[in-house]
Chains A and B, each alone.
Chain A
Amino acid sequence: MTPTHFTISSAFLLGMMGLAFHRTHLLSALLCLEAMMLALFIALSLWSLQLDATGCSTAPMLMLAFSACEASAGLALLVATARTHGTGHMQALNLLQC
């Protein structure tokens, strides 16, 4: 595995670990989600450079656009949660668990 590949994968994994293991704030989960998106953006940008494939040059821009939508959706959910449940804590989101 090339160092580049390892770096990007581990950045993604660290973000994922943050998403999975944060227990208190919803905001920290969303931040880690953004970090994952950032790692993916870097990966897509390096793709066309490393592999000399010019066809997927537009992929990072597409990724960024969708990531922006996703971030705004996540923030809207955070605001809605704060509004209905009072806090931004993860413990408040226990509707599916008994």
Chain B
Amino acid sequence: MHPTTLMYTSSLLLMFAVLLYPLLVTFTSLPLNNDWASSHAKTAVKSAFLISLAPLSLFLSTGMEAVTSSWTWMVTTTLDITLSFKFDHYSIIFIPIALYVTWSILEFATWYMHSDPLMNRFFKYLLTFLVAMLILVSANNLFQLFIGWEGVGIMSFLLIGWWHGRADANTAALQAVLYNRVGDIGLILGMAWLATNVNSWDIQQMFILSKNLDMTLPLLGLILAATGKSAQFGLHPWLPAAMEGPTPVSALLHSSTMVVAGIFLLIRMSPLMENNQTALTLCLCLGALTTMFTATCALTQNDIKKIVAFSTSSQLGLMMVTIGLNQPQLAFLHICTHAFFKAMLFLCSGSVIHSLNDEQDIRKMGGLHHLAPFTSSCLTVGSLALTGTPFLAGFFSKDAIIEALNTSHVNAWALTLTLIATSFTAIYSLRVIFFVTMGTPRFLPLSPINENNPAVINPLKRLAWGSIFGGLLVMLNINLFKTPVLTMPAELKLAALAVSILGLLTALELATLTSKQFKVTPLRTPHHFSTSLGFVPAIIHRQIPQLSLLLGQKIASQMVDQTWLEKTGPKAIANATAPLASATSNMQQGLIKTYLTLFLMTLVLVTLISAT
């Protein structure tokens, strides 16, 4: 085996071994020491990160990619499934970033979940999730990817419902599973079509054999899978509801790693989509709709975690738009940079929430700029990176995407929605910063504001470095597969910056209006649309089941007795005849003598006429 391939394979194997070792304690009955989470779980992830830097540096220096197929899983007449790993540009760059972010989150979680009696189980769940995610990312065939896909789905369910005594958490976990299941139908459809038409689930064989086939159906299946997993419009309600889980879960699963699995699938399968204009247009419009809709919903939320969740959903829509532009690598770049600043935003939220004694409503925060300066600085840095401030992490990916959008032959509606959503990003980011860090405190005086714990400071510091330099580092070290368009009019080049600044100024203006009564009778309808999340949960989660259950109740209890035995049977005759009888008797006046006389006259006339 070539030394580079050997290096890639052995480091992945070592990473899996290092990450699975802490999980083996489940099989021993020894009591764990107090800081098992910190000494074993977090250290495992830190070591795995350091190990993953080796393939990364080798890849950056040689540019060599590898595919390893090892153990043959099953062999049928037409389909072979082996255990195979793909070490390409996408997986080699994503794995270190995911491990870096997870390391920071686990360290933060040792502080955040400190008072939880089941903290060790929490860390085991997080490690299992991480292993499933690595399986998904390094998979070379769809079967292995599906194993990782389902694994992250199940761990998401278990982690969202972590506080399972709370009914809302159970509902949210169920929502996550059900919506992901609907997406899985699409993935299985795609897999079935590919197994029957191109004879394989291996990526290399699929790409070669599908050159002349019409790939619309499996691509629609894969897009459905991405819609479910990455919370695109239509299957999106589970992501804001998933904020019921603890903040480390939100930071790891629902911002950096799990929700990008759907987009990652589309990126891996992008050569199949290159020539299929239907699939590309569908991705473009779906992504634009998602990013606009969720950014609108984020504008009026009051829970800090929900705002960040909708922000995640909006960025996922942006990634989907990028795939629709046939620029999978830019989408991947956005996944990488997004992981840093979104995880940091969630960790800052977690720090703020714990500091204010589990207060999540931004209307009850304020003035934290002076009271928790480090956290507010990180919050500001993260928000600036999110809005695409020049030369922070988000700028390199987001600006590249908007430039590509502006210079492509693209649907104008998608372009408009994406630009408006970019300005909304600035608006809700400023809203968070304004309510949380600026102004005067609106919380109770005796709040345990404390950022002195290194378990809080170090992760935030690491992620802050990532948010500032991450984009630059990634951009400097990769080769872009598709040549970007470098010359465009100045307006297009500055479009992203201009709409963001416009959003920022609008938000500043709105922020100064919070202390004045601008309109005596405000216009409620757009606010209601935004606060009720577009009425989607109200209709799909409540109205439709209510109508179905009412129909069922009517059929079960009323249909047989009331309808079949009464209304269409015996009583139908009575109900039909009685009005007729009463109408007839109302018409007859009872003038017998007149009737008989007339009858007689007629008869006499007939007789006389026939007699002549």
Using a CB–CB distance below 8 Å, which chain A residues touch chain B? Answer: 1, 6, 9-10, 12-13, 16-17, 19-21, 23, 95-97
Contacts and interface: CB of A to CB of B under 8 A. Distances in A.
Interface residues of B, number: 15
Interface string B593-612: 10011011001100100110
Nearest to B598: A20
A2 to B, nearest CB: 10
Given A13-B604, A96-B589, A20 B599 contact: yes
A10 B591 CA distance: 25
Nearest to A29: B596
A19 B600 CA distance: 9
A23 B592 CA distance: 11
Contacts of B611: 1, 6
A20 B597 contact: yes
B590 interface: yes
B600 A17 contact: yes
8 contacts: A6-B611, A12-B603, A13-B600, A17-B600, A20-B593, A21-B597, A23-B593, A96-B588
B600 A9 contact: no
B45 to A, nearest CB: 100
Contact of B600 (A10, A20, A23): A20
Contacts of A23: 593
Contacts of B607: 9-10, 13
Contact of A96 (B590, B597, B599, B600): B590
A97 B599 contact: no
A20 B590 contact: no
A1 B611 CA distance: 5
Contacts of B610: 1
A16 B603 contact: yes
B591 A97 contact: yes
A16 B600 contact: yes
Nearest to B595: A20
A20 B596 CA distance: 5
Nearest to B592: A96
- Across the A-B interface, give the 6 residue pairs with the lowest CB-CB distance, nearest first: A96-B590, A20-B596, A1-B611, A20-B600, A9-B607, A97-B590
Nearest to B597: A20
Specify which of B588, B591, B592, B610 lies most central, judged by the most chain A CB atoms within 10 Å of its CB.
Answer: B592
A15 to B, nearest CB: 10
B587 to A, nearest CB: 12
Interface string B127-143: 00000000000000000
Contacts of A1: 610-611
A84 to B, nearest CB: 17
Interface string B434-445: 000000000000
A9 B593 CA distance: 22
Specify which of A12, A17, A19, A20 lies most central, judged by the most chain B CB atoms within 10 Å of its CB.
Answer: A20
Given A1-B611, A6-B611, A9-B607, A16 B589 contact: no
A24 to B, nearest CB: 12
Nearest to B611: A1
Contacts of B593: 20, 23
A30 to B, nearest CB: 14
A14 to B, nearest CB: 10
B600 to A, nearest CB: 5
Contacts of A13: 600, 603-604, 607
A81 B607 CA distance: 35
B135 to A, nearest CB: 93
A68 to B, nearest CB: 23
B396 to A, nearest CB: 99
A3 to B, nearest CB: 11
Contacts of B592: 96
A12 B606 CA distance: 13
Contacts of A95: 590
A53 to B, nearest CB: 21
A19 B603 contact: no
A13 B607 CA distance: 9
A95 B611 CA distance: 40
A19 B591 contact: no
A95 B596 CA distance: 17
A58 B589 CA distance: 39
Contact of A16 (B588, B590, B591, B599): B599
Contacts of B589: 96-97
B597 to A, nearest CB: 5
A13 B608 CA distance: 11
Nearest to A18: B600
A97 B600 CA distance: 21
A62 to B, nearest CB: 23
Nearest to A93: B592
A17 B603 CA distance: 10
Contacts of A16: 599-600, 603
B592 to A, nearest CB: 8
Given A10-B607, A23-B593, 10 more contacts: A13-B600, A13-B603, A16-B599, A17-B600, A19-B596, A20-B593, A21-B597, A96-B589, A96-B592, A97-B590
Contacts of B604: 13
Nearest to A6: B611
A56 to B, nearest CB: 21
A6 B603 CA distance: 13
A1 B610 CA distance: 7
Contacts of A20: 593, 596-597, 599-600
A1 B597 CA distance: 25
A12 B596 CA distance: 14
A17 to B, nearest CB: 6
B606 to A, nearest CB: 9
A67 B607 CA distance: 24
Interface in B220-243: none
B596 to A, nearest CB: 4
A16 B601 CA distance: 10
A22 B525 CA distance: 82
